[in-house]
Amino acid sequence: MKKYIKASQYNSYFTIEHGSKRFSVHINTDGPYPGSFAAQITEIHPYDDAEYAWAKIEFNGQTKFIKEGKVIDKMQLPSYEEDDYETVEEYCNDMLDSVAVELSNMNKSVQPRMMHN
């Protein structure tokens, strides 16, 4: 059984779409400064037991892409103050979308392993 995240770390859950792909987002918006958030993003693959990459965003914007329990890549997101966003929600949505694009690219070569009961 995979256990990568503690559910208590995050205070909200929703899904986002990028093209034909859907992503699950667990997020904590109670960061230490305006616009900061922490999140875990995974591509949704029902009934598929293959190992896909997922992302963990820290409050400081450091993003780790993880596959099979190992960090395979890192990315630093710009802070809310660095860019010209009108709202924190617009900033968060843009950052989540950019991470979803990276995950989608990383998971292109994964061969599905469908579970059959």
Which pLDDT tens digit goes with each residue over 79-107?
888 878 888 888 999 999 999 999 999 99
Task: Kindly report the pTM of this predicted structure.
Answer: 0.83
pLDDT digits (tens, 9 = 90+) for 29-55: 888 887 889 999 999 988 878 899 999
pLDDT band (50, 70, 90) for residue 3: very low
CA distance 9 to 49: 25
Q: Is 60 helix (H, G, I), strand (E, B) or coil?
A: coil
Coil, helix or strand for 101? helix
42-75 core/surface letters (b: 16 or more CB in 10 A; e: else): bbebeeeeeebbbbbbeeebebebbeeeeeeeee
Q: 37 with 62: CB under 8 angstroms?
A: no
